[in-house]
Amino acid sequence: MKLRYFSHSAFQITAKSNKKILIDPFLDDNPTSPVKSDDVSADYIILTHAHGDHIGDAFKIAKRCNSLFICVNELANYCSGKGFNAHNMHIGGGHNFDFGRIKFTIAHHGSLTPDNQYGGEPSGVILSIDGKNIYHTGDTGLFYDMKLIGEMTPIDYMLLPIGDNFTMGITDAVKAVELTNPKTAIPMHYKTFPVINADPNEFKDKVEKLGKKSIVMEFGQEIEL
């Protein structure tokens, strides 16, 4: 399985089955992404919430690739209402797809769509693919139930925001890693805009002081999981 990071919260997973799953594909208007939406494809698109920096180019990509949206009910209905295929889920629920299992978690944040419609509750998502569990927290503040999430599903890779202002900053993100106890922590949602200009290596150093592993992915980099 491969994990590619575009910057911000945008990732692409390519499963061993060759199915491609995009998460929060904010590319064309994202000043830090070296990749534009015309250059990516997706069988599935997961949106953690409805903010513009997460929906991003999802509709453009879905139209070209006939992708299936996977998100919480209200946001899935918003996608269906625009003529796209969507699988409605909700927080706490899991479902087996042909590439693996998806389960939605809570996230403490907002979820208004760019055209001011209610996007449902914001979420995080656990992807269980090819024997590994990846937890993309979405945009969130720190919450103690991350401990429960890690206990119920041992996490191999935790993708979490460190940029502060809209989400956890570095101190809270390090605590989130301590609570969730993943094997490897990967920082996201930083440097995109001046207001979220955090240093990922400071996060990495602090995570390593906990005796845990952290990878700072370059924008555009793809790694083998």
Residue 121 interacting entry, from Ni ion, Mn ion, none, C-beta within 5 to 8 Å by type: none
**Contact code string over 48-87 relative to Ni ion, x by CB under 5 A:** ---x------------------------------------
Of 85 and 117, nearer to Ni ion (C-beta) is 117
Tell me the site size for Mn ion, rule CB under 5 A. 2
Of 18 and 116, nearer to Ni ion (C-beta) is 116
> Per CB under 5 A, does 139 bind Mn ion?
yes
Of 99 and 104, nearer to Ni ion (C-beta) is 104
Cα(160)–Cα(120) distance, integer angstroms: 21
Q: Kindly indicate which of the ranges 27-35, 45-53, 81-89, 98-106 contains the residues binding Ni ion, using the contact rule CB under 5 A.
A: 45-53
> Per CB under 5 A, does 121 bind Mn ion?
no
Of 139 and 164, nearer to Mn ion (C-beta) is 139
CB atoms within 10 A of CB 98: 9
Of 15 and 142, nearer to Mn ion (C-beta) is 142
Of 191 and 212, nearer to Mn ion (C-beta) is 191
User: Phi, psi at residue 43, to the nearest 5°?
Assistant: -80, -35
Contacts of 122 (CB under 8 A, 6+ apart): 48, 49, 107, 108, 109, 110, 111, 138, 139, 140
> Per CB under 5 A, does 139 bind Ni ion?
yes
Q: Kindly indicate which of the ranges 43-51, 171-179, 184-192, 206-214 contains the residues binding Ni ion, using the contact rule CB under 5 A.
A: 43-51
| Binder of Mn ion out of 43, 53, 57, 121 (CB under 5 A) | 53
Binding site for Mn ion (CB under 5 A): 53, 139
Binding site for Ni ion (CB under 5 A): 51, 139
